[in-house]
């Protein structure tokens, strides 16, 4: 294990994790809103926001899939030291992190079961940009409509058609994140 793996977690874990958890909950409850998070400094290429999401949501009982460039020794060691989440294949993962292209095809991730829809994956998508523009979002938690820059709309629309099954998504860019739960409806911009 490299020495850099031992750094980059929360300095004041009780306070920082509570703030980060609140920000992620608010993002999930209000799809399309962008939240700033802080406290994590994971190794590149993992963004601070993706690191925060992993520190708050993953634990030693949640299988994690690292896709593409984030599946590197520095990130694996950081996850092992700070989170302890077991690394798994895409089909078994509770959480998956990577760019949209690296996470393809998203149909391989768990969508839950009719009697246990919560047994699905959450995709943490590293984005080049995260802005309040793009497809029109409606549904639970959105007053009238919101907009969010997304890597594509077809996969999210297909995921919504599976509701109450489907995966949930957290989009990250730098120190910002937004969420798109499976209950959100999308219309092309």
Q: Buried b / exposed e across 18-50, counting CB within 10 Å, b at 16+?
A: ebbbebbeebbebbbbbbebebbbbbeebbbbb
Residue 87, exposed/middle/buried by CB under 10 A (0-12, 13-18, 19+)? Answer: middle
Higher pLDDT, 142 or 8: 142
pLDDT in tens, 61-118: 999 999 999 999 999 999 999 999 999 999 999 999 999 999 999 999 999 999 999 9
pLDDT in tens, 147-157: 999 999 999 99
The pLDDT value recorded for residue 5 is: 59
The pLDDT value recorded for residue 10 is: 76
The pLDDT value recorded for residue 3 is: 53
Q: What is the model's pTM?
A: 0.95
**What CATH number has the domain bearing residue 145?**
3.40.50.11310
The pLDDT value recorded for residue 12 is: 84
- Please tell me the total count of domains within the chain: 1
Average pLDDT, whole number, for the chain?
Answer: 94
Higher pLDDT, 9 or 67: 67
pLDDT in tens, 31-45: 999 999 999 999 999
Q: Which domain holds residue 16?
A: 3-187
């Amino acid at each position: 294990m490299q020495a850099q793996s031992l750094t980059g977690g929360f300095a004041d874990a009780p306070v920082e994790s509570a703030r980060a958890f609140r920000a992620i909950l608010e993002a999930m409850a209000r799809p399309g809103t962008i939240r700033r998070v802080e406290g994590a400094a994971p190794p590149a290429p993992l963004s601070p926001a993706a690191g925060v999401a992993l520190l708050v949501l993953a634990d030693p009982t949640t299988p994690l899939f690292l896709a593409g460039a984030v599946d590197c020794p520095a990130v694996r060691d950081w996850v092992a030291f700070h989170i302890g989440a077991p690394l798994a294949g895409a089909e078994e993962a509770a959480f998956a992190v990577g760019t949209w292209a690296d996470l393809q095809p998203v149909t391989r991730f768990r969508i839950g079961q009719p009697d246990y829809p919560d047994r699905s994956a959450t995709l943490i998508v590293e984005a080049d940009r995260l802005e309040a523009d793009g497809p029109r979002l409606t549904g639970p938690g959105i007053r009238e409509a919101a907009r969010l820059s997304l890597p594509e709309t077809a996969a999210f629309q297909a995921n919504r058609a599976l509701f109450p099954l489907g995966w949930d998504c957290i989009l990250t860019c730098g120190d910002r994140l937004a969420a798109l739960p499976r209950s959100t409806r999308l219309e092309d911009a």
